[in-house]
Amino acid sequence: MFSSFDPEYAPVGDVGTALLYVDSLLTRIREGISQADPKQRELIDEFFGSFSSEDAGDVLDGACTLVYLYMEWLRQAHEEQDRDVVESVVPYVIGSMRKMTISVKPEAIPAMAGMLTASAIGLSPTLWRKQYGPWTEAEMNALEATLVLLADYINHLTNDETMATRMIADIMESMEQAGDVG
Cβ atoms of 64 and 115 within 8 Å: the answer is: yes
Neighbours of 71 (CB within 10 A): 26
**What is the distance between the alpha carbons of residues 70 and 154, in angstroms, rounded to a whole number?**
8
Closest by Cα among 33, 70, 63, 35 to 152: 70
Residue ranges in the chain modelled with pLDDT below 70: 1-2, 34-37, 40-41, 43-52, 180-182
pTM assigned to the model: 0.88
Length of the chain: 182
What pLDDT is stored for residue 182 in this prediction? 45
Cβ atoms of 26 and 149 within 8 Å: the answer is: no
Neighbours of 13 (CB within 10 A): 19
- DSSP string computed for 29-47: HHTT-SS--HHHHHHHHHH
List Cβ neighbours of 96 (8 Å cut-off, separation of 6 or more): 145, 149
